[in-house]
Copies of this chain bind each other. A is one copy, B any other.
């Protein structure tokens, strides 16, 4: 790996219609029961969704800086199957499951090798600056539909 690559944070990628994004567990993620705090997985999954937008070419930061709002989580259901621990290398696998006018449903699972530690269904809605749901730009809907159908 060259120097430039080595100084770059981890970036995810698509494969087989799924987005794959690696996460490592640090002290900050654990609690005194010795395992990852349950809200920590939501942070891992949000990193993965942000990276998915980046790879898909959707410029959420630009939209925010233009004062036009951003995606927010509207609904989330998560099942905790097995705990992650300090120093674990995890993989968040994300798949666009449904695309609507103002929202998307994304299925995400956090894996450690072949084990599913948690899996979740997350509805994200595009909000305007006032916090109201708005239609997603047409090209974003097309992008999400492409991702849903397994094209990349």
Q: Is A56 an interface residue (CB 8 A)?
A: no
Determine if A145 is an interface residue (Cβ-Cβ < 8 Å).
no
Q: Is A32's CB under 8 angstroms from B27's CB? A: yes
Interface string of A67-87 (1 = CB under 8 A from B): 001101111111110110111
Assess whether B33 is in contact with A43, with CB atoms less than 8 Å apart: no
CA distance A15 to B3 in the complex (A): 10
A39 and B28 in contact, given A6-B20, A7-B22, A86-B61 (Cβ under 8 angstroms):
yes
Q: How far is the CB of A132 from chain B (nearest CB, A)?
A: 11
- Tallying the copies of this chain within the complex gives 4
Number of A residues contacting the other chain (C-beta, 8 Å)?
53
How distant is A112 from chain B, measured CB to nearest CB, in Å? 11
**In A1-39, which residues have CB < 8 Å from any B CB?**
3, 6-10, 13, 15, 20, 22-24, 26-28, 30-35, 37-39
Known pairs A50-B87, A61-B87 / 6 extra A-B pairs, C-beta < 8 Å:
A3-B15, A6-B20, A28-B37, A31-B31, A64-B86, A76-B76
